């Protein structure tokens, strides 16, 4: 029942969240006044840090702060990772967050010689069949919590966030208008329109190149520019859910992890995973994967094109991958493990193979985050087959 008057910037809660995650406990109370309102600035930061991390209960005292010693577990931190065991859902929103964790599967094709590779399959999300369902959902949850009651959302997207936002629009009853760059496969227009969105194509190679146009159009049309590239809900959803559930899964499997490899687009998911795992565990390395200069791999891009959260929490190393290397990794996994990952997932697998083959990473357990599957990318696979044969 604690009430907070002042919301704070996520950035201002980072060091406090890091302390809580590192110590795995809270050591002081949140001070409230007689009306249960958070009383001082330090308490306000602690309140928001715990809220961002997703606890169910907070330690509170009236008047002045008291020392406490209460674990995150006791505060209900892990209650976020609480799937519906029989997979019966009351609506398609529950189908998203009550169906987490997404699967973690050992890949035979990449395991061996002392390396065990686990893929986290983010295409087990229902709207865009990608990791971006999490981002779109949480951006809307936070906008609604903050009082947004508009009827239009505008966004620049490379498809996945757009599909998930279109789903949110369908569920909540608002219109969605999306800008996609020319470099993205043609099927995206059809998928986005089928989901009820209005689609605008621009002669650009990167999604970020359209942000200023979208911002202007939104202010002109009285729409909300939800802005996955700057909206901290994108970082927070992966901190509170994606990273937390991965930790629980690894604990359950008895895996002691050496490293995590994942792609950088907005940098939302890998920055949050880096922050979470580097704060809580010693010696876990994190690798960010980007397209090599001049290459287009949908969903990921080079850090110099501008990313927010990667500067909050930096991977140990960034690995460059070419589109053809990504496609070859996709085909190799498809033909040995029987699942068809998407192109950015292929890039992540190719980066892992480069790190392994150069001896840069030692044998042990690794997690690869696979953002989506290959069904949207028939066009790129077809061009590859035309050039190299199938």
Pattern of binders to ligand PLP over 86-125, x per CB under 6 A?
----------------------------------------
Please identify, among the stretches 11-19, 267-275, 318-326, 349-357, the one whose residues bind ligand PLP according to the rule CB under 6 A. 267-275
With contacts defined by CB under 6 A, name the span among 137-145, 163-171, 190-198, 257-265 that binds ligand PLP: 257-265
The reply to whether 267 sits near ligand PLP by the rule CB under 6 A is yes
Q: Are 174 and 153 in contact (CB under 8 A)?
A: yes
Q: Candidates 31, 75, 107, 264: give the one binding ligand PLP (CB under 6 A).
A: 264
Contacts of 187 (CB under 8 A, 6+ apart): 376, 378, 379
CB 40 to ligand PLP: min, Å: 35
Q: Is 278 in the site for ligand PLP (CB under 6 A)?
A: no
Give the nearer residue to ligand PLP in terms of CB position, either 44 or 128. Answer: 128
Burial class (CB in 10 A: 0-12, 13-18, 19+), 80: middle
The span from the CA of 97 to the CA of 82, in Å, is: 9
Output the smallest distance, CB 227 to ligand PLP, in A.
12
Query: What is the 8-class DSSP label of residue 127?
Result: T
Give the C-alpha separation, 74 to 78, whole Å. 9
Binding letters toward ligand PLP, positions 213-252, x by CB under 6 A: ----------------------------------------
Q: Is 73 helix (H, G, I), strand (E, B) or coil?
A: coil
* Among 54, 101, 181, 265, interactor with ligand PLP by CB under 6 A: 265
Q: How far apart are CA 334 and CA 119, in angstroms?
A: 13
Listed in order, strand segments (DSSP E) in 275-337 are: 285-291, 317-321
Do the beta carbons of residue 159 and residue 376 sit within 8 Å?
yes
Least separation, in Å, of the C-beta of 31 and ligand PLP? 36
Rounded CA separation 364/341 (Å): 23
Specify the residue, 21 or 163, whose C-beta has the smaller distance to ligand PLP. 163
Sequence-ordered strand ranges (E) for 193-239: 198-202, 224-225
Question: Edge-to-edge strand order for the sheet containing 257-263?
Answer: 104-106, 115-121, 364-370, 257-263, 285-291, 317-321
Would you state the structure tokens that stand for residue 88, as one six-digit string?
A: 């019966």
Chain position whose Cβ is nearest to ligand PLP: 299
By CB under 6 A, residue 315 contacts ligand PLP: no
Region of 24-32, 218-226, 258-266, 318-326 interacting with ligand PLP (CB under 6 A): 258-266
3-class SS of residue 201 = strand
Question: Of residues 119-158, which lie at the interface with ligand PLP (CB under 6 A)?
Answer: 130, 132, 158
Q: Which is nearer to ligand PLP, 169 or 371 (CB)?
A: 371
Calpha distance 112→150 (Å, rounded): 53
How many residues bind ligand PLP, per CB under 6 A?
Answer: 20
Select the span of 26-34, 167-175, 259-267, 313-321 touching ligand PLP (CB under 6 A).
Answer: 259-267
Query: Could you tell me which of 112, 100, 106, 81 has the C-alpha nearest to residue 367?
Result: 106
Tell me which residues in 370-389 interact with ligand PLP (CB under 6 A).
371-372
Under rule CB under 6 A, residue 160 binds ligand PLP? yes
CA-based R_g, the chain, Å: 21
Q: Smallest distance, Å, CB 134 to ligand PLP?
A: 9
Which letter does DSSP use for residue 90 in this model?
S
Contact residues: ligand PLP, CB under 6 A:
130, 132, 158, 160-161, 263-270, 298-300, 342, 344, 371-372
């Amino acid at each position: 029942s604690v009430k907070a008057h002042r919301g704070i910037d996520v950035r201002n809660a980072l060091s406090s969240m890091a302390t809580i995650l590192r110590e795995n406990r809270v050591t002081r109370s949140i001070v409230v006044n007689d009306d249960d309102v958070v009383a001082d600035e330090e308490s306000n930061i602690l309140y928001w840090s715990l809220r961002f991390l997703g606890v169910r209960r907070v330690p509170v005292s009236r008047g002045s702060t008291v020392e406490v010693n209460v674990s995150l577990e006791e505060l209900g931190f892990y209650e976020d990772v609480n799937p519906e065991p029989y997979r019966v859902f009351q609506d398609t929103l529950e189908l998203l967050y009550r169906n987490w964790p997404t699967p973690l599967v050992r890949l035979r094709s990449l395991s061996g010689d002392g390396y065990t590779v686990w893929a986290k399959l983010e295409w087990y999300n229902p709207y865009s069949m990608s990791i971006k369902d999490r981002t779109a959902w949480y951006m809307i949850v936070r906008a609604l919590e903050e009082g947004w009651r508009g009827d239009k959302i505008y966004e620049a997207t490379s498809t996945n966030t757009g599909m998930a936002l279109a789903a949110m629009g369908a569920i909540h009853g608002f219109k969605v208008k999306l800008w996609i760059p020319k470099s993205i496969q043609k099927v995206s227009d059809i998928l986005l329109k089928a989901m009820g969105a209005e689609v605008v194509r621009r002669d650009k190679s990167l999604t970020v190149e359209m942000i200023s146009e979208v911002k202007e159009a939104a202010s002109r049309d009285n729409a909300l520019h939800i802005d996955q590239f700057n909206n901290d809900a994108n970082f927070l959803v992966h901190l509170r859910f994606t990273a937390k559930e991965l930790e629980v899964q690894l604990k359950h499997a008895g895996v002691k992890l050496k490293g995590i490899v994942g792609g950088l687009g907005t940098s939302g998911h890998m920055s949050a995973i880096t922050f979470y795992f580097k704060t809580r565990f010693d010696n876990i390395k994190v690798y960010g994967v980007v397209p090599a200069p001049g290459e287009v791999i949908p969903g990921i891009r080079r850090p110099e094109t501008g990313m927010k959260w990667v500067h909050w929490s930096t991977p140990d190393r960034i690995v460059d991958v070419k589109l053809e290397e990504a496609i070859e990794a996709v085909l190799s996994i498809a033909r040995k493990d029987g699942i068809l990952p998407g192109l950015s997932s292929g890039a992540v697998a190719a980066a892992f193979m480069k790190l392994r083959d150069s001896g840069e990473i030692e044998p042990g357990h690794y997690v690869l985050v696979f953002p989506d599957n290959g069904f949207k990318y028939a066009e790129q696979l077809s061009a590859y087959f035309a050039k190299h044969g199938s």
